[in-house]
Amino acid sequence: MKKITIAIDGHSSCGKSTMAKDLAREVGYIYIDSGAMYRCCTLFAMQQGLIAPDGSIDEAAFQRRMSEVQVSFRLNPETGRPDTYLNGENVEAQIRTMEVSSHVSPVAALPFVRAAMTAQQQQMGQEGGIVMDGRDIGTAVFPHAEMKVFVTASDEIRAQRRYDELVGKGEKADFQAVLANLRERDRIDSTRAVAPLRQAEDALVLDNSHLTIEQQKQWLLDRFHELTAAS
Ligand code: CDP
C-alpha cells in the first residue's frame, strides 16, 4: 500500500505529539516533531548568546549562523520514542524547559529560521510514510499531505496537561505561568507573517478537550484507515 503523508497541526500543548507518535508507531511510519526543531533553534541561539536577557534577538548574527543548526532524531531504546539531537548532542530534556518555551515563538517567527527548518522537514518527508506535527505542516510544509488533522482543546485543559507534564519531569512549574505562556505562544504563532498557525481548509478537526489518550488514538486510526482504504 502506498505510504501517505500525515500532517497534524494545532495549538500549543494540545497533545498533538502524543497523538502523532502513537499513530506513527501503530501504522509503522516515521514521526517528526517539528516543534522540537524550532526548540533546537532557540536553544542554539540561547547557548550562543544571541538572545539577550530582555528577549531581544541578534537577528543578523543568528542568520549568519543558521546553517550551523542541524537537527536529527534517534530512537531511544529505553523509552521507545525518538530523542532530539542538536548538532549530534542529545538535547531532548533541555529543549522542553519553560525557558526555551518562553523564547521559542519569537524565534520561530523569523523568516530565515522557518526557511531552514521547512527545508529540513521537506527533506525528511520526501518519501512519504511520515507523521509530522506542528503549526504549519498542512498549510506550508506539506500542503499536499493526504491526511491533515487540526487539533485543539480549551486553554485551561491544555495548560493543565502541560503543567502535569512539567511537574512529572520534576520541573518546578506554576500553573498561571504555563497558561500565560501557551496563550502568548498561540498569539504569536497565529499572527506571524510567515506560515502562521491556521487550520488548513481540507483538515479534519479534532477538539480533544474531553477525550482520553486512548479515544483520540482510536479516532485518528479510524480516520487513517478510512482514508487509506479509499485511496
Ligand atoms: O509542545 P507545544 O505543542 O506547546 O509546542 P511545540 O510543538 O514544541 O512547538 C514549540 C513552538 O515552535 C511553537 O509554539 C511555535 O512557536 C513553534 N513551531 C512553529 O512555529 N512551527 C511548527 N511547525 C512547529 C512549532
Report which residue type is found at 106: P
Per-residue pLDDT tens for 54-75?
999 999 999 999 999 999 999 9
pLDDT category of residue 197 using cuts at 50, 70 and 90: very high
Quick count: other Cβ atoms within 10 Å of Cβ 216?
Answer: 21
Question: What domains can you pick out in the chain, each with its CATH number?
Answer: 5-230 (3.40.50.300)
CA of 201 to the centre of ligand 1 (A): 20
Region of 8 (left: φ > 0; alpha: ψ -120 to 50; beta: rest) is beta
What residues have CB less than 8 Å from 51, skipping those under 6 apart? 42, 45, 57, 58, 103, 107
Ligand 1, residue 192: give the atom nearest the CA.
Answer: 20
108 lines ligand 1 (CB under 6 A): yes
Question: CA 29, CA 166: separation in Å to the nearest integer?
Answer: 28
What residues have CB less than 8 Å from 84, skipping those under 6 apart? 33, 36, 37, 39, 40, 71, 72, 73, 90, 91, 92, 95
CA of 35 to the centre of ligand 1 (A): 4
CA of 106 to the centre of ligand 1 (A): 11
Q: Which pLDDT score is estimated for 1?
A: 75
Among 14, 4, 44, residue whose Cα is nearest residue 183: 14
Report whether 195 contacts 139 (CB < 8 A).
Answer: yes
Go through 69-96 and write b for each residue having 16 or more CB atoms within 10 A of its CB, e for each that does not.
bebebeeeeeeeebbbbbeeeebbebbb
Per-residue pLDDT tens for 127-177?
999 999 999 999 999 999 999 999 999 999 999 999 999 999 898 899 999
- Which residue lies with its CA nearest to atom 21 of ligand 1? 135
Per-residue pLDDT tens for 7-46?
999 999 898 998 999 999 999 999 999 999 999 999 999 9
Q: What are phi and psi of 120, to 5 degrees?
A: -65, -40
Q: Which pLDDT score is estimated for 80?
A: 83
Q: What's the grid cell of residue 226?
A: 478510512
Mean pLDDT across the chain: 95
Q: What are phi and psi of 65, to 5 degrees?
A: -100, 5
Q: Which pLDDT score is estimated for 21?
A: 92
Q: What's the grid cell of residue 228?
A: 487509506
Q: Which pLDDT score is estimated for 231?
A: 67
- Which residue lies with its CA nearest to atom 15 of ligand 1? 105
How far from chain centre, in Å, is Cα 172? 23
CA of 134 to the centre of ligand 1 (A): 6
